[in-house]
Amino acid sequence: MDYNIYKHKTLNELVGANHLFASILNDFGIRFYEFPETTLEDVCKEKGLMIEKIIDQLEKYKNDNSIESLKLFTLPVDLIIEFLKHSHHIFIKRRLPYISSLLRGAKYYNEEHEQVIQDLRFVYPIFVEDFIHHVYQEEDTLFIYISKLQKVVSGDLSPAKLFFELEKHSVRKYAIDHEVHEDELEGLKKITNGFILKDESNVHLNVIMKELQSFEKELKIHASIEDEILFPKALMLEKEVKKMMAENKGSN
């Protein structure tokens, strides 16, 4: 690998070429907008960071298309749930705070940019609060219920233990409710979709817009995993548990 491709470029040049690099730099404690015209090499020297380690991560991230290549349908429900919970953790602990930091550090150079940034600063915290509430509610109800269904089918839990929960819960109802919550980025999209960045030199605003678009794509993939993989598997489990309970009732 030719490290010179990266080390002698300014942070604005790196991030301008690939907005995803801003996230990697952020993980190492480097906010690109604080050192826009400084080379990566000089920033690493100033912060006492190993430039080779950072460049290795930039290379990995550049070629990463992880979530879309996963063959999740072949996995059991418990592993799918763990994957989704891990995604939730990444969203809440990494992605959302990172975008928040971008918005806090944003500077604007004309009235159009000022209005967009102010709108985002108003709408984004509301979205974050609603999103986190939805995630925790999903993990505390739906995921726990599906996990119990899996345990009954695998013989690790008595069907009788789920008698009252089957009356209370319904995978089909969860699926319908999930469709209502799916477009959680609607408020943000109204701002970003109608905005055209005429001045490409505003790297910071360009990164914010691309990060929001990237996050929207991640959420769509995440929702499709739940809709097309988790819910169908959970429906089959629920049907199997109800069948087991009916058979047990008939044999008594």
Q: How far apart are CA 8 and CA 11, in angstroms?
A: 9
Structural contact between residues 174 and 231, judged by C-beta atoms closer than 8 angstroms = yes
pLDDT in tens, 82-135: 889 988 998 999 999 999 999 999 877 677 788 888 999 999 999 999 999 999
pLDDT at position 48 is: 96
In this predicted structure, which of 1-15, 98-112, 128-142, 179-193 has the lowest mean pLDDT? 179-193
Record the tokens describing residue 201, joined without a space: 């030199």
Confidence of residue 146 (pLDDT cuts 50, 70, 90): very high
Q: How many CA atoms lie within 13 A of 98 on its CB side?
A: 29
- Mean pLDDT score of the chain: 85
Task: Give the residue-averaged pLDDT of 164-193.
Answer: 79
pLDDT in tens, 219-232: 888 888 898 899 99
Task: Give the residue-averaged pLDDT of 155-177.
Answer: 87
